[in-house]
Structure 1
């Protein structure tokens, strides 16, 4: 074969050479060292991903998101009750003061009985809340919700909870260390800064 001449285009030549190369590479396989290196790299990547994700923080953040959603649902139910009846469920009529002292949902006047606030908002009253919701937020092990409203028509209704995740705790601390609205509950800031809605 001369220099510069074309390579043989014989099909059989290429098939034989390709087959030889593939058999040789398959026969060798991976060495033990190569396998150990791959396993070590995968282990390092797994540790890095798990430490970046921090599963406990993710679980706590999802619980806080659930508490925030429940707070929004409770505020919405109370607002709808007020729009329908003209007074709040913790008062007995429109002529009473609409203030509500700092209270824990599920205790005292927040019972699910027909005279309690949750009872008036659920099946015993306007049916703004499902009984499964009221059972869940008053059940054991649930992150308590706290409700507050100062007297006056322009004042907001606040539903608060103690955050469990670092992200929600940071937001709560930032809010409590800043300028707060005049009707904001003083109990929400202190030893454990609470996450409050609206």
Structure 2
């Protein structure tokens, strides 16, 4: 009987000691090795996430998206001008050829004076574009826009830009290596394939 009476005491003693040991180890916190392992794992995860996100590519993609949006806005303004006046802003009347050779927005023909294309589209003309828009797309450091239209009724007007991000470059290269419309600007494909919007 002595053996039977000692078992519950030993078991009770073991439970109390185990509980004490667990409380004591939890109260001490993490060891230095455990903390170093956690920090190393977090560092590896941070590097993996940053390499997947690639912040420079994201910045370039946002700039290309802005250039694409500006191209769409410029095309819309030129189309509205044509619908209102019956001719394009780089011509002086409806009976003239409407072709436009490869032209850089912000230079020569595109000045913001009342005689220039941007002048006719902004506050000096039909007010299709805000002056803040024309100032931005002609300002220093902006990714140049290029405009092209081949002669003839029904040919598309193209506004192009040189992409800076890998995603836009890939799209441009794919488009230039495929079958192009007959009125597509030849200058858009070459050493630096451009992203063009009709």
**How far did 1:76 drift?**
0.3
Distance 1:7 1:92, change over 3 A: farther
2: CA distance, partners of 1:34 / 1:170: 45
**How far did 1:153 drift?**
1.5
Distance 1:109 1:25, change over 3 A: same
SS of alignment partner, residue 17 of structure 1: helix
SS of alignment partner, residue 8 of structure 2: coil
SS of alignment partner, residue 82 of structure 1: helix
1: CA distance, partners of 2:9 / 2:116: 92
2: CA distance, partners of 1:6 / 1:171: 82
Distance 1:153 1:4, change over 3 A: farther
2: CA distance, partners of 1:143 / 1:2: 94
- Note the alpha carbon deviations across 1:118-173, whole angstroms, 9 max, x for none: 00000000101000000000000000000000011110000000001111111101
SS of alignment partner, residue 89 of structure 1: coil
In the alignment of these two chains, the number of paired residues is 198
2: CA distance, partners of 1:183 / 1:40: 57
1:22-171 matches, within 5 Å, as 23-171=23-171
Q: In angstroms, what is the RMSD of aligned CA positions?
A: 3.8
**How far did 1:27 drift?**
1.3
SS of alignment partner, residue 159 of structure 1: strand
Distance 1:17 1:83, change over 3 A: farther
Distance 1:122 1:19, change over 3 A: farther
SS of alignment partner, residue 8 of structure 1: helix
**How far did 1:9 drift?**
19
Distance 1:119 1:25, change over 3 A: same
Distance 1:7 1:188, change over 3 A: farther
Higher helix share: 2
2: CA distance, partners of 1:177 / 1:137: 29
Distance 1:7 1:46, change over 3 A: farther
1: CA distance, partners of 2:5 / 2:124: 96
1: CA distance, partners of 2:93 / 2:7: 100
Higher deviation after alignment, 16-25 or 127-136: 16-25
Unaligned runs of 5+ in 1: none
**How far did 1:24 drift?**
3.0
Unaligned runs of 5+ in 2: none
**How far did 1:7 drift?**
16
